[in-house]
Structure 1
Amino acid sequence: MNPEDVEYEPVSVKDVLAEMKDTAELLIDLSFSAVLNGSDDIAREVLELEERMDVLKLQGRMSLLMAARSPEDAEQLAPVVGVVGAAEKISNAAGDIAKVVMEDIGLPDAIRSALPEAAEVLVRATLSPDSPYAGRTLSDVNVETETGVRVIAIRRRSATGKRRWITNPGRETTIEADDILLLRGPQMGIQGVYETATGETYELPETRDPPIEDLERAVDSIILMKDMSELAVDLAYGSVLFDSEDVAEEVEELEAEVDALKSRFEAWVLRAAERVEDPVQLRGLVHIASATEVISDAALEISEGVLRGIDAHPVVAAAVEESDEVIVRLRVGQTSSLANATLGDRMVKTETGMRVIAVRRGDGSEWVVQPGPTTALRPGDVLIAKGTRAGAERLGDLLEDPQTFEE
């Protein structure tokens, strides 16, 4: 595809940064889904989004150059330039991960076995004009409540042929015929929604034999690196929004942990190479691990201005605040209804609409990344959750003395 021509236009830095944030987070999700599901279709969507990020990067830089009129402006806008550059690095790293799939660089079947049977999957579905979903809002079709499947993004082509992405679509978003929907949810729920949306049969992924032990450990290290890098990006934007040095330091800790995981990954891969019939098939794993480390490094760059005590330009906080999702940090109180219960016991996601993306134990000893319904909460634990502002308030109501990034 030919690169899109970009000329200066008076676009809002705030709007550009907000779209870059949402796009960067979606890119991470899609690139790993392409690998875990072996999907060329999803990998192609990553490359489409990467091209969009390139345009946003140029628009953001042009606008920042126009905005700097004094030394004070330059000082405050310097961290913003860092945020733009970090988002670009995340985009490029996601593209590198997608190319592992597109170019058949080499991936062992072990990477497919990394997804537990109960895990969520992500698929790409083109909405058929005959689908009962066509022309209706997400609220009307209500697939998330009925099936657990979420529409996490929509790619739409206008009458003039121009592509448009809708990231984090809301309940009032109307889905139209020929929209490309990115669906995430449990496999059985995905099957029904995909067939209703496309009118085609959904093919279940193949079941593969368990991998050799050392290779399985290497793959587990990559999956944990991915989870921690994704969390680091979320926390990095949160640290900027709330100007929280404490949260920025958590990003720094996560980045160091990803570096340590990469070292362990390299050891497992070298051991596995002796027992794999064709060691060349491990090249893809090495590419993915390197790209994942770049993502965690980029997250640290986003937080760098906060760590160095530079007051970020108000446009940064406004951009993150106006993005479609918010991230909050809440502490489990001693008498909270969530204390000594699991996320599933209190049906936190159902009751509040908030997705708990991580739990940090109260003694600071452990991060629980990608917690599930069976994750037990203890007094003093810190929850990191994403969702709407209204959902954040509902989650806060379940906790005693809630503390956010503003603490």
Structure 2
Amino acid sequence: MDPLEGEASSVSVEYEPVSVKDVLVEMKDTAELLIDLSYSAVLHRNVDLAREVLRLEERMNVLELRARMSLMMAVRKPDDAEELAPVLGIVAATDAISDAAGDIAKIVIEEMGLPDAMRAALPEAAETLVRGVVDAESTYTGRALADIDLESKTGVRVIALRRGDEWLLNPGPGTTIENGDVALLRGPNPAIGEVCEELTGEVYETPSIDDPGIDDLERAVDTIVHMKNLSELAVDLAYSSVLFDSAELAEEVRNLEVEVDALQSRFEAWTLRAAADAEDPVVLRGLIRLGTSTEVISDAAIDISEGVLRDIDVHPVVQLAVQESDEIITRVEVEPGSDLDGTAVTNGVPDVESTMSVIAIRRPDEGWLLVADADAQLRGGDVLISKGTRTAAAAFDELSNT
């Protein structure tokens, strides 16, 4: 049996005096990468990507133990226990996300089966993510990312590198690509195929897809894709709610979790109906696993923001950890008659003098709209979830008010 597929890690973990902040940063970054990798592995039915998920999941197990050890050593008095209890919750929730991503990856490794409709729907909902091993003859080998300038030239970015057992998450401009590195790339087609070929020396093939044409199955797949997107958004908002000690963002996490639960119920109904028309209902096992794991990710987001919801002061170590992110997520409500009322949003960019990017809209009468899926026009009463710099966020908030 592949050691990656075992139930428990055999790696010995001993206490080391490490920074809790650094461990939490790595756990957060690892969890977000795990979500991306696991769904991409399912999309492409790519066993190599799925195995990278299990490698990262094992790394997360080590990080969780180290975080727990450090937190236990930090407790000196009852006040410490009260402030650090939510931090333990964040550690446990992040590990739950890791476990759910591992379960998604095993859909591919265990050949559990997925309908082709799943692959037909996901390309519209996610950027392409590919894995490649750097070839010694590649023009990228031995060069820093700043020198290659890959993202500005092609739109493709290197989101992680694995060098043996060492992971380089969020590689910066000074990171050098070395021969034998396992590179994880994300970007648009066909650019990502061209970059992958240049990096690996191998031909990149886009998987062909046949649509089975079962209406109930298509509805189930559309529902799981929406659940996936909402769960990812919930995780982003959960970490941001902790950073800003924002009860408003934490409430939006709760709203998202309620929506995902409702979608889960619909998804189960569509899947059961589709089984009656499928030639081989067994291929729906993977889809059922995917739905369950996606709902677990949504629940974990609630656990991350639990301390904020319970009005427990955010421990400084958590704020320092989440502040490593260059971008912030904000929530604003569009007042009727404000500068944002009636504004068009195209590919997430509002038609106003602002560098903020709108990633989601919650409408009281319609629910959640992810603007990556469709253009929109803002209305009074809309609740906007946006990304951008702190300065841009402050100006954007002013535009939402009359």
Tell me the amino acid that sits aligned with residue 234 of structure 1: D
- Rounded to whole Å, the distance in 2 between the matches of 1:385 and 1:345 is 9
Between 322-331 and 284-293, the greater mean CA deviation after superposition? 322-331
Which residue of 147, 164, 170 corresponds with 1:140? 147
Tell me the amino acid that sits aligned with residue 401 of structure 1: E
1:87 partner SS: helix
Which residue of 63, 69, 90 corresponds with 1:56? 63
Say if 2:88 is the partner of 1:84.
Answer: no
Q: Is the 8 A contact 1:336 1:398 kept in 2?
A: no
Where do 1:288-327 residues align within 5 Å? 288-323=290-325, 326-327=328-329
Say if 2:398 is the partner of 1:401.
Answer: yes
Q: Unaligned 5+ residue runs, structure 1?
A: 158-162
Residues 271 and 118 (structure 1 numbering): CA distance in 2 closer, same or farther, change over 3 Å?
closer
Q: Is the 8 A contact 2:60 2:98 kept in 1?
A: yes
The sequence identity of aligned pairs, in percent, is 59
Q: Is the 8 A contact 1:356 1:385 kept in 2?
A: yes
Q: Is the 8 A contact 1:139 1:171 kept in 2?
A: yes
Deviation at 1:181, TM superposition (A): 1.2
- Rounded to whole Å, the distance in 1 between the matches of 2:394 and 2:342 is 13
Deviation at 1:359, TM superposition (A): 3.0
Deviation at 1:145, TM superposition (A): 2.0
Say if 2:186 is the partner of 1:184.
Answer: yes
Deviation at 1:38, TM superposition (A): 1.1
Residues 344 and 95 (structure 1 numbering): CA distance in 2 closer, same or farther, change over 3 Å?
closer
Tell me the amino acid that sits aligned with residue 54 of structure 2: L
- Rounded to whole Å, the distance in 2 between the matches of 1:18 and 1:63 is 14
**1:371 aligns to what?**
372
**1:38 aligns to what?**
45
Q: Is the 8 A contact 1:105 1:283 kept in 2?
A: yes
Q: Is the 8 A contact 2:248 2:331 kept in 1?
A: no
- Rounded to whole Å, the distance in 1 between the matches of 2:14 and 2:344 is 55
Residues 332 and 167 (structure 1 numbering): CA distance in 2 closer, same or farther, change over 3 Å?
farther
Between 112-121 and 392-401, the greater mean CA deviation after superposition? 392-401
Tell me the amino acid that sits aligned with residue 101 of structure 1: V
- Rounded to whole Å, the distance in 1 between the matches of 2:312 and 2:129 is 39
1:187 partner SS: coil
- Rounded to whole Å, the distance in 2 between the matches of 1:379 and 1:105 is 46
**1:211 aligns to what?**
213
- Rounded to whole Å, the distance in 1 between the matches of 2:399 and 2:59 is 38
Q: TM-score, normalised by structure 2?
A: 0.89
Residues 167 and 74 (structure 1 numbering): CA distance in 2 closer, same or farther, change over 3 Å?
same
Say if 2:120 is the partner of 1:102.
Answer: no
1:153 partner SS: strand
**1:384 aligns to what?**
385
Q: Is the 8 A contact 2:348 2:359 kept in 1?
A: no
**1:255 aligns to what?**
257
Q: Is the 8 A contact 1:154 1:167 kept in 2?
A: yes
Q: Is the 8 A contact 1:335 1:400 kept in 2?
A: no
Say if 2:119 is the partner of 1:112.
Answer: yes
Q: Is the 8 A contact 1:3 1:51 kept in 2?
A: no
Q: Is the 8 A contact 1:113 1:210 kept in 2?
A: no
Deviation at 1:279, TM superposition (A): 1.0
Say if 2:19 is the partner of 1:12.
Answer: yes
- Rounded to whole Å, the distance in 2 between the matches of 1:119 and 1:10 is 39
- Rounded to whole Å, the distance in 2 between the matches of 1:183 and 1:344 is 21
**2:72 aligns to what?**
65
C-alpha distance after superposition, 1:150-202 (max 9, x if no partner):
21211122xxxxx2212222333322222211111112111111111111111
Q: TM-score, normalised by structure 1?
A: 0.88
Tell me the amino acid that sits aligned with residue 248 of structure 1: A
Tell me the amino acid that sits aligned with residue 367 of structure 2: E
1:285 partner SS: helix
Q: CA RMSD in A?
A: 2.5
- Rounded to whole Å, the distance in 1 between the matches of 2:267 and 2:76 is 47
**1:160 aligns to what?**
none
Which residue of 324, 334, 343 corresponds with 2:346? 343
Tell me the amino acid that sits aligned with residue 141 of structure 1: I
Q: Unaligned 5+ residue runs, structure 2?
A: 4-8
Q: Is the 8 A contact 1:239 1:245 kept in 2?
A: yes
- Rounded to whole Å, the distance in 2 between the matches of 1:21 and 1:115 is 24
2:259 partner SS: helix
Q: Is the 8 A contact 1:359 1:382 kept in 2?
A: yes
C-alpha distance after superposition, 1:279-321 (max 9, x if no partner):
1111111111111111111110111111111112111111111
Between 143-152 and 70-79, the greater mean CA deviation after superposition? 143-152
Deviation at 1:383, TM superposition (A): 4.1
Q: Is the 8 A contact 1:341 1:378 kept in 2?
A: no
Deviation at 1:339, TM superposition (A): 5.9
